[in-house]
Structure 1
Amino acid sequence: MTAPKLTLYNSVSCPYAARAIIALAETNQEAEIIPIDLKVPRPEWYLKDINPYGQVPALKVNDKDVILESLIVAEYIIDLHPESRLLPTDPLQRAQTRYLIHHWSARVMPKFQKATYVLNAKQAAEGREELVVELIKFNKLLLDVQRKESDSEGPFYFGSNFTLADLAIAPFLARFFLIEKYNGNADVTLEKNPELKRFLEWREAVLARDSLQKATEPKDKLVENYRKFLKETW
């Protein structure tokens, strides 16, 4: 089977688009990368021919079909190379993968944003407390995952094998350091919380992944890019 021609519309500042970049790196696939500047209105050709909502990533296949939404784009890239084992074949593990990603997006990220992109110190402190509560629940999901006998021990969600569960959340972990950058939050002590031991082990392993580092801007650039989200109050 001939590999399809892939054209990825990407922004290096977007964590959602980074999912596609990581998937390409993990599967050793080539793609033409078209940069989209999210700081300005999208060009008319992009809205008309690629994504009417102006979002990234978008993936064009064989100069014809367009795939939208970051998780769907990442799964398509992964499906082209099932030997990568990035998406489990076991139905239960697939369900657990999708719920872990959902839980992170729906439960953890709103608290992270509340704790991070705010200049009001009191509200930032409240946000940090709420974030820890959600991270403890997330820590339990990491501990309770159903591994198969063939899954070897390791720090990732399913052991030693890096999968979509890790990949999809990785770009947001790469931005977790921002919680200390805008409020002088020197008292952020996630590392000292024994109820987050599994989460911290997992985070360290994911952050060390070469594919994530290649898909992530330098920290100083990220700090500057996210200043636009700062608010006095929520």
Structure 2
Amino acid sequence: MTAPKLVLYNSDACPYAARAVIALDETKQEHEVVPIDLKVPRPEWYLKDINPYGQVPALKVDDKDIILESLFVAEYVSDLHPEAGLLPTDPLQRAQTRYLIHHWGARVQPVFHKASFTLDAAEAARSREELIVELGKFNKLLGDAHRKEGDNFGTGSFYLGDKFTFADLAIAPFLARFFLLEAYNGNKGVTLEKNPELKRFLEWKDAVLSRPSVQKATPSQETLTENYRKWVK
């Protein structure tokens, strides 16, 4: 089977686009990158020929077909290379992976956003407490992951054991931005690192952020702090 020609439309600072970047790195898939500047209006050719909504990432396949939305782009790349083992083959693990990603986006990420990007002390304090509660629930989801024989439950800190998989990949860019909790409002009240109720989450976060593909897909903290300043209320 001939490998398809892939062109990734990407913005380095976008956490959603980073999902595609990580998938391409993990699979060693050859591709071309076209940078898209999200700080300015999208060029007409991008809206007309690639993505009418102007978002990234977008993936062009063999100079004709377009795949939009970060999870679908990353899943397509993962499917091209089953040998990389990013997508679980076990139906239960795949279902749990999808829910973990959904739960993060629906429950955890909105609260993280509120806690990070407000200068109002009372609002920030409320959001900090809400974030800790949500992370506690997420901590349980991590601990409840279905492990099969050979997943190395006792030694692996990734979601499904010692193997970096799609759940780790999909949430990694947002973990890489957790430092933003303290970037603008001196949010020292979030003592996540010392919270015993978040032990599994903290081990998982450290393992994911140590992954070379995640590190390569993450801009410097200085760059991210400046890029996200526009969100601060």
TM-score (norm 2): 0.98
Residues 27-46 of structure 1 show CA distances to partners (whole Å, capped at 9, x for unaligned) of 01111000000001000000
CA shift at 1:107, angstroms?
Answer: 0.2
1:221 corresponding residue in structure 2: 223
Contact preservation (8 Å) 2:7, 2:60: yes
2:55 corresponding residue in structure 1: 55
1:85 paired with 2:85, answer yes
Q: Distance in 2 between matches of 1:122 and 1:30?
A: 49
> What amino acid does structure 1 have at the position aligned with 2:172?
A
Q: Distance in 2 between matches of 1:4 and 1:20?
A: 16
Alignment of 1:41-52 (within 5 A): 41-52=41-52
Shifted more, 149-158 versus 59-68: the winner is 149-158
Q: Distance in 2 between matches of 1:175 and 1:60?
A: 28
> What amino acid does structure 2 have at the position aligned with 1:177?
F
Choose from 185, 188, 192 the match for 1:186.
188
Q: Distance in 2 between matches of 1:146 and 1:22?
A: 24
Report the number of matched residues. Answer: 231
Q: Distance in 1 between matches of 2:69 and 2:125?
A: 33
CA shift at 1:173, angstroms?
Answer: 0.2
Q: Distance in 2 between matches of 1:188 and 1:76?
A: 37
Unaligned runs of 5+ in 2: none
2:131 corresponding residue in structure 1: 131
> What amino acid does structure 2 have at the position aligned with 1:183?
N
Residues 154-188 of structure 1 show CA distances to partners (whole Å, capped at 9, x for unaligned) of 00000000000000000000000100111111222
Q: Distance in 1 between matches of 2:67 and 2:161?
A: 30
Alignment of 1:110-129 (within 5 A): 110-129=110-129
Residues 34-80 of structure 1 show CA distances to partners (whole Å, capped at 9, x for unaligned) of 00000010000000000000000000000010000000000000000
Q: Distance in 1 between matches of 2:135 and 2:118?
A: 19
**Superposed CA RMSD:** 0.6
> What amino acid does structure 2 have at the position aligned with 1:144?
D
Q: Distance in 2 between matches of 1:184 and 1:147?
A: 39
Q: Distance in 1 between matches of 2:53 and 2:16?
A: 15
Match of 2:59, SS state, is: strand
TM-score (norm 1): 0.98
Unaligned runs of 5+ in 1: none
1:94 corresponding residue in structure 2: 94
Q: Distance in 1 between matches of 2:186 and 2:114?
A: 15
CA shift at 1:151, angstroms?
Answer: 1.0
Alignment of 1:60-79 (within 5 A): 60-79=60-79
Q: Distance in 2 between matches of 1:187 and 1:94?
A: 36
Q: Distance in 2 between matches of 1:121 and 1:174?
A: 24
1:170 corresponding residue in structure 2: 172
> What amino acid does structure 2 have at the position aligned with 1:172?
F
> What amino acid does structure 1 have at the position aligned with 2:65?
D
CA shift at 1:150, angstroms?
Answer: 2.2
Q: Distance in 2 between matches of 1:181 and 1:219?
A: 9
1:19 corresponding residue in structure 2: 19
CA shift at 1:6, angstroms?
Answer: 0.3
